[in-house]
Amino acid sequence: MGTRPLLNRRLAGMGTTIFAEMSALAVRTGSINLGQGFPDTDGPREIAEAAADAVLDGRGNQYPPGPGIPELRTAVAEHQQRFHGLTYDPDTEVLVTAGATEAIAAALLALLEPGDEVIAFEPFYDSYAACIAMAGAVRVPLTLRAPTFRPDLDELRALITPRTRLLLINTPHNPTGTVLTAEELRTIAELAVEHDLLVVTDEVYEHLVFGTAVHHPIAALPGMRERTVSISSAGKTFSFTGWKVGWVTAAPALVSAVRTAKQYLTYVSAGPFQYAVAEALRLPDTYFEQFRADLLRKRDLLLDGLTAAGFRAFTPEGTYFITTDITPLGEKDGIEFCRSLPERCGVVAIPNAVFYDDADAGRSLVRFTFCKKDEVLAEAVTRLQRL
């Protein structure tokens, strides 16, 4: 095989995802897993039954249509209208994907040329760096810094060069919990229009916002509809992360470009689950309200517990993650801290450092998820007091 590394240069150093590493550590040590973001309670029973019915009735057991089943595309378009006032044609402006993950990959692979620059907020969700790399493009981070984790939009302006092709945004933002304000989004949109940039926006946490924070889709702003690829998925909103049903909404030319890449990634996926997600998207407002209220209670339970244990916890406006600073505990390095945490107190968390290019900006930050049963969070909090 010679001496040439097997893994190509684009993916060098990307090894195993932090989520896989930390979830395996949780299983191996029997720890409470507040690392990878997946709920320990499944979504609504009637939606699970809809999936089971689809399997037993023979709906979706064979390859579904490439763009997704019409029922789901229609439900996605209705959902965009109902919650955000955005109108999309289910036939030409909606594409069903294997989770948001495939939507991100297909969008970046389709829209980028090698050498194009992509500006993304760091800390970034780990698949962004990998997909930008697979597309041969260059990532340009705009660092969100503690304690506010808000983007410096003058810095954003300064990062734009003639090679910038695309802004990759994520609101509500994983892992910081920042929800971009209408004002921030307006400035970002104006920059995109002024410099003729594409925008890919990852909105998988669109329903997970708390207090006075409101999720605003950037696609609704002037000049944005024709240049924005909006991405969401069922995993977070309906607590079925294993189903991997996601979607893209965008103007026809953008959907067509993304579909071109998508058809050679998975072609199609999750046939029967697509029927169930179509039903989920039509759940009454009470579902979404109750889900948010439950998560808000869990957020506050974990925030209080982390603070009592000595962490500096930053209150998230959205998502189901809390970013903390471990410096007050006399700790400096989040990666070392997370590797030793199971042994020290039987809890698993995620070091934010792995989401940064600027290692110093994230070194002492650690993320905990609160999408777990109240009693599990309470037990985790008790264990963390031992630190």
Token digits of residue 143: 């660092």
Please, what is the minimum distance in Å from the beta carbon of residue 36 to ligand GLN?
A: 5
Q: Single out the residue of 31, 32, 33, 36 in contact with ligand GLN (rule: CB under 6 A).
A: 36
Please, what is the minimum distance in Å from the beta carbon of residue 184 to ligand PMP?
A: 17
* 318 is an interface residue for ligand GLN by CB under 6 A: no
The dihedrals phi and psi of 61, each to the nearest 5 degrees, come to -75, -20
Q: For residues 228 and 301, what is the distance between their CA atoms, to the nearest angstrom?
A: 37
Q: Single out the residue of 21, 25, 37, 106 in contact with ligand GLN (rule: CB under 6 A).
A: 37
- The one of ligand PMP, ligand GLN, none whose footprint includes residue 100, by CB under 5 to 8 A per kind, is ligand PMP
Please, what is the minimum distance in Å from the beta carbon of residue 241 to ligand GLN?
A: 7
Please, what is the minimum distance in Å from the beta carbon of residue 346 to ligand GLN?
A: 19
**Contact positions vs ligand PMP (CB under 6 A):** 99-101, 125, 170, 174, 202, 204, 233, 235-236, 241, 244, 246
Of residues 37 and 362, the one with the C-beta less far from ligand GLN: 37
Instruction: Scan residues 161-220 and list those touching ligand GLN (CB under 6 A).
Output: 174
Please, what is the minimum distance in Å from the beta carbon of residue 126 to ligand GLN?
A: 7
* 232 is an interface residue for ligand GLN by CB under 6 A: no
Please, what is the minimum distance in Å from the beta carbon of residue 17 to ligand GLN?
A: 6
Of residues 274 and 352, the one with the C-beta less far from ligand GLN: 352
Of residues 37 and 271, the one with the C-beta less far from ligand GLN: 37
Q: For residues 181 and 57, what is the distance between their CA atoms, to the nearest angstrom?
A: 45
Q: Single out the residue of 19, 83, 287, 288 in contact with ligand GLN (rule: CB under 6 A).
A: 19
Please report the sign of the dihedral spanned by the C-alpha atoms of residue 189, residue 190, residue 196, residue 197: negative
* Contacting positions for ligand GLN (CB under 6 A): 17, 19, 36-37, 174
